């Protein structure tokens, strides 16, 4: 079998979403007005996002040996994602995310990583050939930093890191050095820079310019698009205006579309309008993987 264009190393989880008026404050009980589930986890979402847009994708991940794990694996396989490097870990539950979605589509996410915690550098090592031969290796941080480091060390192509979530203590310098494109949102950027959340594009650009290591930073700004910061230059890419239903997975749609374009050797400034459109489309329907765009939704970009 030929090498995948993109190898994703990351988490897979079942998402259980609740529609609420507002997210709970400490000590508060909030009654929801409906619930639905979908397949999620940042690794799985990003893999499906890229595969739906036409890339050949392999996912290195872990589930429990439970029915949820089988459901996650089947869902990814249906989307054409390579699942031969997904391990089923005995005696642990598959990852679970509990998501509160408000009427304006904003989502607040609590994650029990479950089997995602059991993904280890040895599992990454078993995929060394794919990691070396893929045009893009895409990583997030719902699995351990050691897993992220192992994947980035093995990669020979473009390393795209979505640092979500940033661990306490920030990111190791070695990981930042191995990254070609770092894709944080404002909160993650602030955490990496050990600063407050930037209140303007200018503040975000200043923080991003101070981060040493990655070849380029792409700061996602939600409904305001994204900033590309590299070589002392800052470019803004606008968002596509849409009716927002649920923001869950929008960042993953962005990363998946970016990776798909980079795997075809597009430049960052050609790839970013597609990533912005993909993120916008992903907010127009409920759920993470259910809402990821199809190629026709990005046509003309």
Shortest Cβ 210–ligand RIB spacing (Å): 26
Q: Compute the distance between CA of residue 5 and CA of residue 254 in angstroms, rounded to an integer.
A: 17
What Å distances lie between residue 290 and 45, 164, 195, 268, 279, CA to CA?
Answer: 9, 20, 35, 26, 13
How near is the Cβ of 111 to ligand RIB at its closest, in Å? 5
Contact pick of 83, 109, 148, 150 for ligand RIB (by CB under 6 A): 109
- Rounded least distance, CB 38 to ligand RIB, Å: 8
For residue 235, what are the contacts with CB-CB under 8 A and spacing of at least 6?
227, 228, 269
Q: Would you name the residues annotated as active-site residues?
A: 252
Quick check: 119 binds ligand RIB (CB under 6 A)? Answer: no
Q: Does 184 bind ligand RIB (CB under 6 A)?
A: no
61 forms beta bridges with 86
| Pick 41 or 75: Cβ nearer ligand RIB | 41
40 scored as a contact of ligand RIB (CB under 6 A): yes
Segment interacting with ligand RIB (CB under 6 A) among 21-29, 34-42, 194-202, 273-281:
34-42
E strand residue ranges, the chain: 6-9, 13-19, 35-40, 57-64, 86-89, 95-101, 107-112, 136-139, 158-161, 181-182, 216-220, 226-230, 233-237
Q: What is the dihedral of CA 236, 239, 240, 246, to 10 degrees?
A: 170
User: Which of 16, 101, 11, 23 is closest to 47 using CA atoms?
Assistant: 11
| Cα 124 to Cα 39: distance, rounded to the nearest angstrom | 22
**Smallest gap from residue 289 Cβ to ligand RIB (A):** 7
Q: Between 216 and 255, how does the x/- string for binding to ligand RIB read (CB under 6 A)?
A: --------------------------------xx-xx---
Considering only residues 10, 15, 119, 225, which one is a binding residue for ligand RIB as defined by CB under 6 A? 15
- Closest approach, Cβ 116 to ligand RIB, in A, equals 9
Please choose, out of 35-43, 61-69, 167-175, 197-205, the segment that lies near ligand RIB by the rule CB under 6 A. 35-43
Residue number, 236 or 286, with CB nearest to ligand RIB: 286
Q: Binding marks (x or -) toward ligand RIB, 75..104, rule CB under 6 A?
A: ----------------------x-------
Contact, 121 vs 146, CB < 8 A? yes
> Of 110 and 129, which has the nearer Cβ to ligand RIB?
110
Q: Which of residues 258-297 bind ligand RIB (CB under 6 A)?
A: 288
Is the Cβ–Cβ distance between 135 and 143 less than 8 Å?
Answer: no
Query: Is 41 a residue that touches ligand RIB (CB under 6 A)?
Result: yes
Q: Which member of 66, 68, 79, 142 binds ligand RIB (CB under 6 A)?
A: 142
| Concatenated DSSP letters of 63-123 | EESSHHHHHHHHHHHHTT-B-TTEEEETTSPPEEEEEEE-TT--EEEEEE-GGGGG--HHH
* Spacing of C-alpha 212 from chain mean position: 22
Q: Looking at beta carbons, which residue is closest to ligand RIB?
A: 40
Size of the site for ligand RIB (CB under 6 A): 16
Residues that bind ligand RIB (CB under 6 A): 11, 13, 15, 40-42, 45, 97, 109, 111, 142, 248-249, 251-252, 288
């Amino acid at each position: 079998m030929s090498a995948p264009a993109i190898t994703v190393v990351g988490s897979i989880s079942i998402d259980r979403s609740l529609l609420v008026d507002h997210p709970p404050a400490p000590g508060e009980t909030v009654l929801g007005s409906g619930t639905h589930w979908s397949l999620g986890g940042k690794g799985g979402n990003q893999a499906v996002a890229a595969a739906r847009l036409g890339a050949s994708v392999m996912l290195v991940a872990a589930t429990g040996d439970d029915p949820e794990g089988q459901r996650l694996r089947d869902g990814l396989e249906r989307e054409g994602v390579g699942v031969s490097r997904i391990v089923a870990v005995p005696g642990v539950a598959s990852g679970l995310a509990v998501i509160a979605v408000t009427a304006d589509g904003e989502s607040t996410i609590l994650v029990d990583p479950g089997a995602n915690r059991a993904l280890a550098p040895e599992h990454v090592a078993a995929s060394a050939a794919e990691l070396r031969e893929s045009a893009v290796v895409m990583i997030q941080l719902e699995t351990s930093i050691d897993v992220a480091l192992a994947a980035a060390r093995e990669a020979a192509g473009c390393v795209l890191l979505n640092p979500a979530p940033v661990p306490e203590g920030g990111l190791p310098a070695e990981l930042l050095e191995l990254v070609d494109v770092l894709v944080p949102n404002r909160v993650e950027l602030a955490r990496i820079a050990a600063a407050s959340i930037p209140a303007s594009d200018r503040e975000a650009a200043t923080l991003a310019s101070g981060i040493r290591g990655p070849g380029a930073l792409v700061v996602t700004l939600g409904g305001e698009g994204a900033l590309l910061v590299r070589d002392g230059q800052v470019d803004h890419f606008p968002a596509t205006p849409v009716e927002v239903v649920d923001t869950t997975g929008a960042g993953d749609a962005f990363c998946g579309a970016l990776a798909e374009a980079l795997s075809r050797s597009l430049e960052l400034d050609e790839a970013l309008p597609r990533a912005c459109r993909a993120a916008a489309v992903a907010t127009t329907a409920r759920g993470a993987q259910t809402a990821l765009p199809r190629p026709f939704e990005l046509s003309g970009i």
